Amino acid sequence: MEEARGSLEVLNKVFDNMFLKSSIFRNRDALRHDYIPNHLPHRENEIKYVGEVVAPLLLHNKASNLFIYGKPGTGKTAVIRFVFNALSKKANELRANIKCVLVNSRLEGSEYRILASISRQIGLSIPFTGLATAEVFRRIVNHIKANNLYLLVALDEIDVIVKKEGENLLYELSRINENFSSHRVSFIGISNEITFKQILDPRILSTLSEEELVFKPYSSDELFDILMERAREAFHNGVCDPSVIRYIAALSASEHGDARRALDLLRVSAETAERGGKREITVECVQEALRKIERDQVNEVIRTLPIQSKVLLISILKNLRNPSAQHTSGEIYTEYRSLVTNLGLESLTDRRLSSLLNELESAGIISSKIVNMGRYGRTKKYSLSVPQAHIVEALKEGDLLNGLLE
Ligand SMILES: Nc1ncnc2c1ncn2[C@@H]1O[C@H](COP(=O)(O)OP(=O)(O)O)[C@@H](O)[C@H]1O
Ligand SMILES: [Mg+2]
């Protein structure tokens, strides 16, 4: 009881602190992922290009379909949102009957849900499940006819759904205008994967990518401007020195050029300063934030690994702790076999294990190099790419494997 009251007090204090004025943040929301800044530095050309492609819609003329490629965090979604907002506003002024629809294919997760989201956004309600896709299509077509609509549909992260469910939806959508006497629906496809083109059926590709636009990763200077603008919005004066922003921008540009991750680093750095009771974000705060972000990422990857991969990872840890081991795949497999037998799990083939090792490697948890073992031929040797303590910490969150790590 005493303890319960103690906990409640602690919790109430946490809640009360929410109302205290932050010494760091003026507007926390300015660093959120869904915040739409009213200015997007270094994307003026892209905004203009997309604007030129969609402008004919204002006269109810056909707009070319456009395909946008670019690595994550290069501003693709932000630019489309920005253009859609402006286009909708202009259309209202001109009384043009345009509807802009933005659907995130990854978040929707299935073809059906993508169609349901398009429907909802044009004012047509569709049950969550139950209808055949063809029926949803028919209703959308009828709704467009009945309301005399002109649609601009942006399919964001479209590569994800094509990989998951194939090209059917894109194929159907690319032919939707055959249902109307004049051109009614234009598309903007967006892909984080530059190589997506290569997997698409050439017929679909030629319809959907009449125009193409590639977004490049941001340079250090560009990230600096983006972060500076957000920092002005997010922080009180004097909290974040430009030299700290320079540091974050340079780090982010050399690693990835991803504005989302750069903004995350700025936010976590600010939270670190806030939690430490500081009045200023320092380079040390950034370094601590980097470690925290890396730890969280490793945690997330490891926590969600399938059990066999977890056992394999533990085998690697055990092997690395053995001073006389060479850390070869063969040794790791032997370690793995003794563990799975003890656990009563199925033992996977070497081939399967080798592909699991590749997965751990592409997730950035381990790395390998090929070494020549003299008369034993060539083999791979493994090492960890992140601190051992992080891996152990993450593995320990799953109860089953606790005992194995001792
Ligand atoms: N030029 C820019 N100016 C300001 N913020 C930007 C800019 N580019 C990207 N961002 C911000 O970075 C984050 C990621 O951008 P986003 O458009 O979602 O990238 P993508 O869709 O290419 O993955 C968003 O929070 C966005 O607001
Ligand atoms: Mg995006």
Three-state DSSP at 153 gives strand
> Would you say the CB of residue 30 lies under 6 angstroms from ligand 1?
no
Give the pLDDT of residue 372.
84
Domain boundary among 189, 215, 241: 215
The residue range of the domain holding 373 is 305-405
Answer whether 217 contacts ligand 1 (Cβ < 6 A). Answer: no
Mutate to test the pocket of ligand 1, among 85, 104, 226 (most ligand atoms within 8 A of CB): 226
37 within domain boundaries: no
Q: Dump pLDDT digits (tens) for 156-167.
A: 999 999 999 999
Long-range contacts of 32-38, Cβ-Cβ distance < 8 Å, separation of 24 or more: 33/260, 33/263, 36/78, 36/81, 36/82, 36/85, 37/78, 37/229, 37/230, 37/233
pTM: 0.83
State which residues have CB under 5 angstroms from ligand 2, the bound ion.
Answer: 77
* Other residues' Cβ atoms within 10 Å of the Cβ of residue 268: 20
Is there a single domain that holds both residue 202 and residue 63? yes
373 pLDDT band, cuts 50/70/90, is: confident
The answer as to whether 159 is a domain residue is yes
Please tell me the distance between residue 362's alpha carbon and the centre of ligand 2 in angstroms. Answer: 22
Residues 329 and 396 in one domain: yes
Q: How far apart are CA 300 and CA 331, in angstroms?
A: 27
Q: Which two tokens stand for residue 342?
A: 């003890």
* Rounded mean pLDDT, 1-29: 79
Number of domains into which the chain is organized: 3
Q: How far apart are CA 344 and CA 400, in angstroms?
A: 12
Backbone angles phi, psi at 95, to 5 degrees: 55, 40
User: By the 8 A CB rule, do 27 and 233 touch?
Assistant: yes
Nearest bound ligand to the CA of residue 81:
1
Asked if residue 8 is part of any domain, the answer here is yes
Contact (CB, 8 A) for 230 and 263? yes
Q: How far is the CA of 75 from the centre of ligand 2 (A)?
A: 7
Residue owning the nearest CA to atom 13 of ligand 1: 260
- What does 367-395 look like in DSSP terms, one character per residue? EEEEEE-GGG-EEEEEEESS-HHHHHHHH
Which residue lies with its CA nearest to atom 17 of ligand 1?
75
The pLDDT mean for the chain works out to: 92
Domain boundary among 280, 301, 322: 301
At 184-195, the pLDDT tens digits run: 999 999 999 988
191: helix, coil or strand?
strand
Give the ligand whose atoms come closest to the C-alpha of residue 75. Answer: 1
CA of 74 to the centre of ligand 1 (A): 6
Instruction: Determine, yes or no, domain membership for 34.
Output: no
Burial class (CB in 10 A: 0-12, 13-18, 19+), 210: middle
The CB of 261 under 6 Å from ligand 1? The reply is no
Per-residue confidence (pLDDT) for residue 5, from 0 to 100: 73
pLDDT confidence of residue 128: 78
Find the angle CA(216)-CA(225)-CA(157) to the nearest 5 degrees.
35
User: Could you tell me which residue, 19 or 67, shows the higher pLDDT?
Assistant: 67
282 lines ligand 1 (CB under 6 A): no
* Same-domain check for residues 276 and 396: no
Nearest CA to ligand 1 atom 20: 73
pLDDT range class, residue 130, cuts 50, 70, 90: confident
Q: 275 and 352 in one domain?
A: no
CATH number at residue 234: 1.10.8.60
Residue at 404: amino acid letter? L
Is 37 touching ligand 1 by the criterion CB < 6 Å? yes
Separation between Cα atoms, residue 383 and residue 392, nearest integer Å: 15
Has residue 38 been placed in a domain?
no
Decide if pLDDT at 19 tops 70: no
Q: Are residues 51 and 129 in the same domain?
A: yes
**Which whole number is the average pLDDT over 337-341?**
92
Q: What is the pLDDT of residues 395-406, one digit of tens each?
A: 887 665 666 666
Q: Is 80 within a domain?
A: yes
Beta carbon of 71 within 6 Å of any ligand 1 atom: no
Query: Tens digit of pLDDT for each residue in 191-229?
Result: 999 888 888 899 999 999 999 999 999 999 999 999 999
Domain contains 180: yes
- Residue 190 within a domain: yes
Strands 211-215 and 366-372: unpaired
Binding site membership of 77 for ligand 1 (Cβ less than 6 Å): yes
C-alpha 286 to ligand 1 mean position (Å): 20
Task: Pick the atom of ligand 1 nearest to 40's CA.
Answer: 3
Number of H helices, E strands in the chain: 17, 7
